[in-house]
Amino acid sequence: MKKTVNQKAWFLVLPVLLLVGFSAVIPLMTVVNYSIQDTFGNNQFFPAGLEWFEEILHSERIHDALGRQVLFTGIIMAIEIPLGIFIALNMPKGGVWASVCLVLVALPLLVPWNVVGTIWQIFGRTDIGLLGYTLASMGIDYNYTQDILSAWITLIIMDVWHWTSLVVLLCYAGLQSIPSAYYQAAKIDQASRWNVFRYIELPKMMGVLLIASLLRFMDSFMIYTEPMVVTGGGPGNATTFLSIDLVKMAIGQFDLGPAAAFSLIYFLVILLVSWAFFTIMTNIDKQEK
Amino acid sequence: MARITLSDLAHSYVQNPKNEKDYALRTLNHEWEDGAAYALLGPSGCGKSTLLNIISGILTPSHGRILFDDKDVTFEETTDRNIAQVFQFPVVYDTMTVQQNLEFPLKNRGMDAKYISQRVSSIARSIKVEDIMHKKAQGLTADQKQKISLGRGMVREDVNAILFDEPLTVIDPHMKWELRTQLKALHKELKHTMIFVTHDQTEALTFADKVVVMNVGEVVQIGTPQELFEKPAHTFVGYFIGSPGMNILEAEVHGNHALIGEHTLKLEHTYKALKGKVELGIRPEFMTLCEEGRGIKIEIERIEDVAHHKIVRARYNNANVNIIVDEDTIITDTMTNMTFDMTRVNIYENSWLVEGEKI
B246-286 per-position pLDDT tens digit: 988 888 888 888 888 888 888 888 888 888 888 888 998 88
Residue A1, pLDDT above cutoff 70:
no
Could you say which DSSP state residue A105 is in?
H
Question: Does the global pTM surpass 0.80?
Answer: no
Cβ pair B90, B141 in contact under 8 A: no
Cis amide leading into B244 (omega within 30): yes
Which chain B residues touch A185 with a CB distance below 8 Å?
85, 87, 91, 149, 152
With an 8 Å Cβ cutoff, are B95 and A188 in contact? no
Residue A188's closest chain B neighbor by CA?
Answer: B79
pLDDT in tens, B234-244: 998 888 888 88
DSSP reduced 3-state for B302: strand
CATH 3.40.50.300 boundaries in chain B: 4-12+21-240
Could you say which DSSP state residue A249 is in?
I
| pLDDT value, residue A80 | 94
pLDDT in tens, A46-61: 887 787 888 888 888 8
**Model ipTM value:** 0.76
With an 8 Å Cβ cutoff, are B105 and A185 in contact? no
Task: Mention every residue, 6+ apart, whose C-beta is less than 8 A from residue A122.
Answer: A128, A129
With an 8 Å Cβ cutoff, are B136 and A288 in contact? yes
Which chain A residues touch B149 with a CB distance below 8 Å?
185
Beta strands in chain A (DSSP E): 37-39, 45-47
**Domain architecture of chain A: domains with CATH:** 61-288 (1.10.3720.10)
A3 near B CB under 8 A: no
| pLDDT value, residue B269 | 85
| pLDDT value, residue A287 | 62
A280 vs A86: CA distance, rounded Å: 25
Strand-pairing partners, residue B39, are: B196, B211
Averaged over successive runs of 10 residues, the pLDDT of chain B (359 residues) comes to 80 78 81 86 83 85 84 82 86 88 87 88 84 84 85 83 85 80 82 86 84 86 88 88 87 85 84 85 88 84 86 87 86 84 87 83
Best probe of the B interface among A182, A190, A196, A202, by most B CBs < 10 A, is: A190
Q: Angle at the Cα of B220 (from B215 to B223), degrees rounded to 5? A: 125
Task: Mention every residue, 6+ apart, whose C-beta is less than 8 A from residue B207.
Answer: B37, B39, B180, B183, B184, B196, B198
DSSP reduced 3-state for A112: coil
Best probe of the A interface among B54, B81, B88, B104, by most A CBs < 10 A, is: B104
Cis amide leading into A227 (omega within 30): no
| pLDDT value, residue A71 | 94
CATH number of B4-12+21-240: 3.40.50.300
Q: Angle at the Cα of B115 (from B111 to B119), degrees rounded to 5? A: 110
pLDDT in tens, B156-168: 888 888 888 888 8
Residue B156's closest chain A neighbor by CA?
Answer: A189
Residue A163 — pLDDT band, cuts 50, 70, 90? very high
With an 8 Å Cβ cutoff, are A288 and B139 in contact? yes
